[in-house]
Amino acid sequence: MKKDEFNSMIRLYFVSIPDDLGDDLCLVKGALIIVQKLNSEWAYGYHIKNQGGGTVGEYHLIFKSSEYDKENECVEWESAFGDFRNYDMSTADGLKGFNEDEALEMFGKLDDLWDSTLHWGGDLVYTTDEVEEYSGYDEMFLCYKSKFSNLVEENSSFWYAKDNANWDEEVFLQHLDIESVSEEIPGNMCFWE
């Protein structure tokens, strides 16, 4: 599968902490990344949210679309989510027609997209190669602000949204209600359309 052979939606919320991390490296407070194989009625995602007290909740998501309603120009989506970013097959138990092979393939694509977008703090913030010092950001997600265009800035916080999708398909990922998805996940923030 080529890089552009799947649809994706990325939503990020992050804050700049110049004194600790510099001007470019930022602390991620929320991330929602969803992928969908072209012409598939299934989509897969990861969502992380700041939950207060320095903790972040991590979740995996599975979505199944209904048939495209041409009269109303919409698609309804069923969803299920499970704890952690590690895919768990039992998450899809209530969704009929689940294809584990497709899910494994697409969670692999999702992992690649996730890893190219976000970074684990422990991999980036050590002060020397010889000494691994705890930085306070070791177990948090970070991102480089310079990688993203069209940021919306609000009081040293940044919101990012990017959709890479084939909107000519009958299974419209664009009809997935980001706000409803994000509201289902516990945490202190929510993404909007």
- % pLDDT > 70, the chain: 80
What is the structure's pLDDT at 190? 84
What is the structure's pLDDT at 1? 43
pLDDT in tens, 119-160: 887 776 554 555 455 566 777 889 999 999 999 998 889 999
Q: Which long-range contacts (CB under 8 A, 24 or more apart) does 55-58 make?
A: 56/140, 56/141, 57/83, 57/185, 57/186, 57/187, 58/83, 58/84, 58/85
What is the structure's pLDDT at 11? 94
Sequence-ordered list of residues with C-beta below 8 angstroms from that of 171, at least 6 positions apart, any chain: 36, 39, 40, 41, 65, 68, 75
What is the structure's pLDDT at 4? 55
What is the structure's pLDDT at 111? 92
Q: Determine how many CB atoms are found less than 10 A away from the CB of residue 117.
A: 20
pLDDT in tens, 159-185: 999 988 766 655 567 778 888 888 888
Of the ranges 9-13, 89-93, 152-156, which is most confident? Answer: 9-13
Q: What is the 3-state secondary structure (H, E, C) of the chain?
A: CCCCCEEEEEEEEEEECHHHHCCCEEEEEEEEEEEEECCCCEEEEEEEEECCCCCEEEEEEEEEECCCECCCCECCEEEEEEECCCCCHHHHCCCCCCCHHHHHHHHHHHHHHHHHHCEEHHHCCCCCCCCCCCCCCCCCEEEEHHHCCCCEEECCEEEEEEEECCCCCCCCHHHCCHHHHHHHCCCCCCCCC
Nearest to 159 by CA among 177, 145, 176: 145
Place of tokens 């948090």: 140
Residue with the bigger pLDDT between 119 and 77: it is 119
Regarding beta strands 25-37 and 152-154, do their DSSP bridges make them parallel or antiparallel, or are they unpaired?
A: unpaired
What mean pLDDT is reported for the chain? Answer: 80
- The whole model's pTM is what? 0.84
What is the structure's pLDDT at 115? 92
